[in-house]
Amino acid sequence: MQNSTRKPIVAGNWKMNGNKPLIQLLEDSLATADLAHLEVVICPPFPYLGMFGGLNALGAQNMSQFDGGAHTGEIAASMLKECGCQYVILGHSERRAGHAETNDVVASKVKKALEADLTPILCVGETEEIRDSGNLFAFLAEQIDAVVQEIGVNEFSKLVLAYEPIWAIGTGKTASPAQAQEVHHFLREHLAKKNSDIAEKIRILYGGSVKGSNAKELFSQQDVDGGLIGGASLDPEDFLSICLAAKQ
């Protein structure tokens, strides 16, 4: 059964990749199809944010938890908003692991993003060790609950969630559709215990080695509302076929 009230999202996370010519190639590719049934969000590195022509929504890959001031090299939520961003990826595993972003730091960034009227794409996901240890659901609940504690569950009506198993990111090892559905269902049920209406409406994206060849099967799962795409978002043709695989 498919849910018609949740508009799918396909978001491309370029990470620290891409260049100016890729912007045009991607826009040319997206312009060839009718993508009105979904939201397409591109999250390029900061310098390219102002270079897109408006065909897709824009997202940043990170932002500061501070409003402004003496934080050399950081970018505030309000600045992203001024530059035309609607979304910001927060809590990506590469930020959590490589930049010491704890659950509390991620939660305070989510709060700042909402204050600036940005939609956070809040990433959660486990390592292979955590999955194998049997602590998967407790671990994911902790990642979610840190944010609930900071902003309250009602604010989740303004969030997008992304389930990104770390073992599947950039590895070519995708979660099976059943594995993705199991976790997405858990996340929705976990929120439903706090607010069933918000749980029903929140979009939960899957991320981890999604490609044109596996997107349709993943996106057809009941609780999967689109994808957060890394590597394949750099390939305009493959990215378009992932967009076309989103539920109608």
Q: How far apart are CA 67 and CA 74, in angstroms?
A: 10
Nearer CB in complex with ligand PEP: 181/233: 233
Helix (H, G, I), strand (E, B) or coil at 87: strand
Site membership for ligand PEP, residue 49 (CB under 6 A): no
Identify the bridge partners of residue 208 per DSSP, sorted by sequence position. none
Site membership for ligand PEP, residue 238 (CB under 6 A): no
Q: Which of 22, 229, 243, 246 is close enough to bind ligand PEP by CB under 6 A?
A: 229
Closest CA to 125 of 184, 61, 185, 56: 184
CB distance 40 to 10 below 8 Å? yes
Compute the least distance from the CB of residue 82 to ligand PEP, in Å. Answer: 25
Helix (H, G, I), strand (E, B) or coil at 209: coil
Size of site (CB under 6 A) for ligand PEP: 13
- Which of 39, 101, 164, 184 is catalytic? The answer is 164
Helix (H, G, I), strand (E, B) or coil at 8: coil
Residue with tokens 């992932």: 242
CB distance 43 to 17 below 8 Å? no
x-or-dash pattern for ligand PEP, window 164-183, by CB under 6 A?
x----xx-------------
Nearer CB in complex with ligand PEP: 8/231: 231
Nearer CB in complex with ligand PEP: 136/166: 166
Residue with tokens 């918000």: 198
CB distance 167 to 136 below 8 Å? no
x-or-dash pattern for ligand PEP, window 81-110, by CB under 6 A?
------------------------------
* DSSP assigned state of 51: G
Alpha helices by DSSP H, the chain: 20-30, 77-82, 93-98, 103-115, 128-133, 136-151, 177-192, 196-201, 215-219, 236-244
- State which of positions 194-213 bind ligand PEP (CB under 6 A): 207-210
Active site residue 99: no
User: Which stretch in 57-65, 152-160, 178-186, 226-234 sits in contact with ligand PEP by CB under 6 A?
Assistant: 226-234
Nearer CB in complex with ligand PEP: 10/210: 210
User: Which stretch in 104-112, 142-150, 178-186, 225-233 sits in contact with ligand PEP by CB under 6 A?
Assistant: 225-233
x-or-dash pattern for ligand PEP, window 140-169, by CB under 6 A?
------------------------x----x
Active site residue 164: yes
* DSSP assigned state of 11: E
Chain residues binding ligand PEP by CB under 6 A are 13, 164, 169-170, 207-210, 228-232
